[in-house]
Amino acid sequence: MNQRNHPNHIEHDHVDLSHESYHTDHDHTSHHAGHDHGALLGAAEEIPAVFSQTLFLQFDKDMTENAICALLYDWLTSIQHWALFHHHYIGHIKIFAEFEEGFQLWLSATGREISVKNTAMKLPKNPVRRGTAAVTAIVFGTDEASLKVAVLNGWEETLALQSGKAAI
């Protein structure tokens, strides 16, 4: 499997790991997909917010595998930056993207380096115009609505930074 560590390494040393920084004042039962662990865990900060959705990706220009890889990498970086900037603790952020001709990318981050893998070990022979991305972000210290905005805005902003245009 291919693994690529992007030079744009994210440092973790500005994250405050004291317990106070993970305190949340949101409802513990509504934002974590039915995961009813509050009583067992005994600590509010152990219940994370979850974003989990499949997005349809449509590009209005031909994309190479490298361009797609960079786009998804930058998107994941933007979500990670958002979490670190707000002192949220990243459980796991992962993206599994599938494109034409069986091209697949698995990206994952736990707050440090982002790993990228070509799971099917296939590269598209032709330029790519569309695909899907299953995204799961599990982050402590925030709520589901803020996490959703961070993930979706992150995508829009990443696209805006690209020279071409694409839409979900």
Q: Footprint of other proteins on this chain (CB under 8 A)?
A: 1, 3, 17-19, 22, 32-37, 40-43, 45-46, 48, 50-54, 89, 91-92, 94-96, 98, 104, 106, 108, 110-112, 115, 119-120, 134-136, 138, 140
Check residue 115 for interaction with ligand GTP (CB under 6 A). Answer: yes
User: Residue 63 is encoded by which pair of tokens?
Assistant: 């994309």
Point out the residue whose Cβ comes nearest to ligand GTP. 108
Instruction: Pick one of other proteins, ligand GTP, none as the site partner of residue 134 (Cβ within 5 to 8 A by kind).
Output: other proteins
- β-sheet bridge partners, residue 117: 3, 106
Shortest separation between residue 9's beta carbon and other proteins, angstroms? 12
Structure tokens that stand for 116 in this block: 């990228």
- Our CA angle for 160, 60, 72, nearest 5°, is 50
Give the number of other Cβ atoms within 10 Å of residue 91's Cβ. 16
- The smaller minimum CB distance to ligand GTP, of residues 104 and 115, is found at 115
State yes or no: residue 61 binds ligand GTP (CB under 6 A). Answer: no
Strand order in the sheet with 3-5: 3-5, 114-117, 104-109, 89-99, 128-140, 49-63, 166-167
Q: For binding to ligand GTP (CB under 6 A), which residues are involved?
A: 92, 94, 108, 115
